[in-house]
Structure formats: structure tokens, C-alpha cells
Structure 1
Amino acid sequence: MTYTPTQVTFTQSIFHLTSDVQFVRVSEEALYIVTSQTPFHPVSHIWPDHPADRGTLTVGEHIYTVENCLVGAINLVEHQLLVGKEIPIKRDEPGWVFVVVHQIRAEEKAVKVGDAVSLTVDDAYQKQLSRGHSAGHLAYLALNKVLAAGYWRKDADRKDPHGHNDFNSYAQVTSFVTEDRCLDTYRLGKTLRKRGLNSADMLENLTKIEEQINVQLESWLTLGSKIEITRQGDNLTDSRYWQCDLQEGKKAIIPCGGTHCDSLERFKEIQVKLVQRDNEHIEMHTHITH
């Protein structure tokens, strides 16, 4: 049996397609189904910031709810499918292919290899996540810009797409996208202070920084710029990049495997709230009105 990497279409706003099943793994709890193509975005096993898409898988007259959508890897020698945290290797490892795994309830012989199945994504839910993810990118770029104006005493080696010290990259602990929202947690630790961040000043002026971020976001939204996702190929593990021209001298280009909206015009308003959790941790809550 020959297995191929899953080709994904979620960057092209394709919400429905028909594809052949190339692998089925049966467990007591679920059926894990791998197709040659899919419109579903899976949750990453490495950086699970963007939830799995919702939707259905149809075989003949039987419609099944896709309960989860995960990243999988097939060992081409042992014909074994590993899912999520079971995956022991990095992408492009010889002898393996990375695939999208659709999880449905375990039903004996419900789906078998070679079946043609119809895959339909809940487009309204995906669009909510897409807005949340794009807003998260915009919010962190605005945060970086505000902090670059007076909260660093050293020039950092790591820069963001606009050339500002990349606070987001240095300090981000977690990021979680939900419907029309994004939550980022940052750690203002000793290492970051050594790199030159005036974290005490930052915490003292958190309300002012929040206000400046929101002013910047309001200004960017008036541009109505397009948001584009470029990709180096159609396979799940091919690199993808979020791009948007915010008139900051350089177009913002960010490596990202998530789904995104196609324009700043999809937002009526993006509002950020900064919350201090303790002496070393803050949260950035990004909320969207559309």
C-alpha cells in the first residue's frame, strides 16, 4: 500500500470536497480516518494554538460527526499510523508521511480504505477561528511596536516583521485561538530583563500600553489591507505564511499554519485587554467585533 501526505485546502477557503480513504485505524473509542485530501484544519501536536475544525464525514447515506481533527504520521515501512502526541519524529523524516486524521466514533466497518468520502467543514466556525487568529497576529505586532518605543534599553537580536524587537517571540508562553478571540500569555522573566526589557516599567504602565495598542489597531484597520496566505506546497507540512501590508515600511510576513480571514475589512473592531497575573506573567486578551 502506498501512502501520500495529506493535501490540505483550508488556505484556499474550500469547505467541502470528496476524497479517497487511504488509512483507517480502529480503536475502542474511535475511528481515525486518513484521506488523500481534506478541507479540515487539524490541531497541531507541537503548538496547539489553533483548534481543530468541526464538520462532517459522509459515506454513502451515512453522515458522521468529525469529533476531532489531528495531525498523524504514517510509518511507510511498518504501515503504522501514529496520532498527535504519539508522533516521535519531525516533519520530512525519511520513511514517514504526515497526514490529517479525522476522528469519528468507533463503528465497526463504518469506513474502509478505498471508500470515497465527502468532507464538509463548518465554515462559520472556521471563519470565527480565522478572525481570531489573524487578530492575534495584529495584536502582537502592535504590542511589539508600542514596547519598541520606550521599554527596551538594548537592541534585541530577534526582530519582528516590522523590524521591532520581538517581545512576542521572546516572551510568549502560550497562545490560544477561540471564536473571534485570542489569548496570549507572556513571561517577563530574568532572561528577558537581561536581554534589555524594562519589565518593571512595562508592568507599571500596562494600562497605557493597552491604550496605545488599541489606538494602533484602530489605525491599521482603516487601511482595509488584504490578508494573504502563501504556501510552498499543498501538503500538510509544507510551509505557509500569513502576509499583510500594514504600511509599516515592510509587509508583515509571519510563518503560520493556521487558518485566517482574507482582509482587515473583516473586522469592525479589535480590542486588546492586558491583564497582570503575577510579578512575571501577563495576558493579552484580544476580542473582535465584526
Structure 2
Amino acid sequence: MTITATKTRFCHQTWQLEAQVQRIQHNDEVTYLVVDTTPFHPVSHIWPDHPADQGIVKTSVAIFDVIDCQVGAVELATGELHVGTAIPVKRDAEGWVFVVVHVLPRTEVIKAGDSISLEVDKEYQLSLSRGHSAGHLAFLALNKVLAEGYWRKDADRKDPHGHYDFNSYAQETSFVTPDKCLDSYRLGKTLRKRGLNSADMLSDLKIIEQQVNVLLAEWLKRDGVITMDCHGEHLTDSRYWQCDLGEGKVAMIPCGGTHVGQLSELGSIQVQLMKIDAQIIEMHTAVIR
């Protein structure tokens, strides 16, 4: 059967739906399942900051745990499926479609063309959504605090609120876990040349941490709505996290993850800034509910 790009519903507060099986592929231990539409969020093979959703797949005769969920790409000319880091092309490459690959324990029960039910573990997804939204808020707050005294010259790159985008310049890694986000930043020579007073930042780290937490508490009091602006329904279409935090401009951040729909769902947020060495700091963001 013809394989089409997966339609995704993980940005639509959808945790269960019926779908048609488009492709089944096996290796020695697992089965790869591709359907036309899914509520499951896969882990990105390019920037794996947001973990895969968990949940189950139901057929007419059996129930299977989704043990992983990854991005896949199918070459239309050959029908060959490539999964995760084995994908050899960029998104929207001609002659390829990108799909969500649900990894199941090996089974011969499911066939192409079958109708099945997919159910995401709602509570687990929501815990990741809280962690991811809190991470966005935390870096926006950190950017604003640093912009008020830790840059000695204008930076070319600005964040959605118009502040110097420390997060974009310095972020090395970002990892979301249930109700948490961990960001790692490098304060190297290049960043100092761009104008960051990194020595002052390191010496004032606890003061900055306190100011970030005060700002986050102020933003959360607004109880604003968080929306996902989806520019299409397929996996590779652009998606943008949006929230009005009272900063004059609505924050809009490109993001492929899942998120909460309201600031009140976060309860409170606590940020801890930690110096790892002379060049690396970590920002630990936790949702307190």
C-alpha cells in the first residue's frame, strides 16, 4: 500500500485514536509499526531533548506495549524504512516521507491495512509536557535577567522578547524528563567575544538564580494560555510554542515537543543554576505541583 507522511496529533491534547497500519517491519527483537495518524510523540533523531511517549497499541486480538517511538523515513521508490540515526536524508527530501515509528515487541499479528487503536500514557506525556514548557519559561527568564547587566555590547541574536539570546548562543544540550528540564550551557571564548561578561555571571550565579525564580513566579501569576501553532499536520511540519507572558511581545519558540495548555498546570517552577567548571553551567528546572 502507499505510505504517506504520518499525521500527528500529539499537539492536540489527543491521547487515543483509531488508525490504519501502513507498514510493518521486523528485526530480530522488535517490530516497527507505521500508521497513517498517531497521538504518539517520537524522540527526535536530530535533537533528542524530548523523550518518546509511552502507551499501548490494541488490535482485535492482542494488546502491545509501545516500548519506544522514533522518527523514521521511507524512500518511496524502494519502500525501504530507515529509523532514527540511520535516516540518510533531511526532512522534506524529494522522494521520501517521514513517519512515526512505534517500536513493539516482535509480533506477526499486525498486518498492513489493519485498523488498530493507539493509546498514549496520558499522565506520562503530561509530565513531559510540564517539564518542557517549564524549560522554555526558564530560559526566557534567564535571558531577561542576563540582558539587564551581563552583556557589554549588543548581541546579534535576540529571543522572542527582544533580549540577548543567551540560551541560543550557549546551550549545549537540553533534556526533558517528567516535570523537569536540564539545560547545559558553555561559557566559552566565542561567547565572551560576543559580549557576555561570563566572569561576572559565574560570580553572581546564585543572585541570577534568585532573580530568575522571582521572574518565573511573576509570569505564572498571569495564568496565560499556551498554544501550539502547527503549520501543517505532518511530522516534519513546523510547530511553534506560544505564550503571552506580559513582556510586550508574545513568546513564540520553534518546538516539536508536547506542552501544557495553561500556565496554571505548572503549579510553580524552581530553577537551580550550577557551576560545573570554569566554562560549563547547568540550569535545573523543576515543576513543583
Q: Given the two structures, how large is their TM-score scaled by the length of structure 2? A: 0.99
Please state if 1:193 is matched with 2:192. Answer: yes
Report what 2:141 is aligned to.
142
- Deviation, 1:61, is 2.7
Q: Give the equivalent residue in structure 1 for 2:75.
A: 75
Q: Find the aligned partners of 2:251 and 2:262 in 1 and give their Cα distance.
A: 14
Distance (whole Å) between structure 1 residues aligned to residue 173 and residue 257 of structure 2: 15
Output the aligned Cα RMSD: 0.6
Letter in 2 for 1:113: A
Q: Which residue of 2 aligns with 1:226?
A: 225
Tell me, yes or no, if structure 1 residue 39 matches structure 2 residue 39.
Answer: yes
Query: 1:112: Cα distance to partner?
Result: 1.2
Map of 1:264 onto structure 2: 263
Deviation at 1:111, TM superposition (A): 1.2
Q: Take 2:215 and 2:117, find their aligned partners in 1: how far apart are those partners?
A: 43
Q: Once the two structures are superposed, what CA deviation does each residue of 1:30-56 show, in whole Å capped at 9, x if it has no partner?
A: 100000000000000000000000000
Residue aligning to 1:129? 128
Residue 215 of structure 1 and its aligned partner are, at CA, apart by: 0.2
Rounded Cα–Cα distance in structure 1 between residues aligned with 2:71 and 2:266:
30
User: Is it true that 1:151 corresponds to 2:150 in the alignment?
Assistant: yes
Measured in 1, the distance between the counterparts of 2:185 and 2:33 equals: 36
Distance 1:12 1:97 in 2: 22
Pairing 1:14–2:14 present = yes
- The ranges of structure 1 where at least 4 consecutive aligned residues each deviate by more than 3 angstroms after the TM superposition are none
Deviations 1:152-196 (A, max 9, x none): 011111000000000000000000000000000000001000000
How far apart are the structure 2 equivalents of 1:30 and 1:211? 47
Structure 2 residue ranges without an equivalent (≥5)? none
Give 3-state SS (helix, strand or coil) of 1:253's partner: strand
- Give aligned-pair identity as a percent: 60
Task: Give how far 1:211 is off.
Answer: 0.2
Secondary structure of 1:127's counterpart equals: helix
Separation of aligned partners in 2, 1:145 and 1:61: 55
Residues 74-109 of structure 1: CA deviation (Å, up to 9, x unaligned): 0000110000000011111000000000000112x1
Report how far residue 267 of structure 1 moved.
1.9
SS of 2:50's equivalent in the other structure is coil
SS at match of 1:259: coil
User: How many residues end up aligned between the 2 structures?
Assistant: 289
Amino acid at match of 1:268: G
Q: Residues of 2 paired with 1:198 and 1:25: CA distance?
A: 53
Cα distance in 2 between the residues matched to 1:96 and 1:54: 27
Report the residue type matching 1:106 in the other structure. R
Displacement, 1:124? 0.3
How far off is 1:2 after superposition? Answer: 1.4
> Are residue 111 (structure 1) and residue 117 (structure 2) matched?
no
List runs of 5+ in structure 1 lacking aligned partners.
Answer: none
Question: Does the residue aligned with 2:111 lie in a helix, a strand or coil?
Answer: coil
| Alpha-carbon distance in structure 2 between the residues aligned to 1:102 and 1:152 | 45
Paired amino acid for 1:92 = D
Q: Provide the rounded CA distance (Å) in 2 between the counterparts of 1:237 and 1:246.
A: 28
The amino acid of 2:95's aligned partner reads: G
* CA distance in 2 between partners of 1:44 and 1:255 (Å): 14
Question: 2:11 is paired with a residue of what secondary structure?
Answer: helix
- Provide the TM-score with structure 1 as the length reference: 0.99
CA distance in 2, matches of 1:215, 1:168: 19
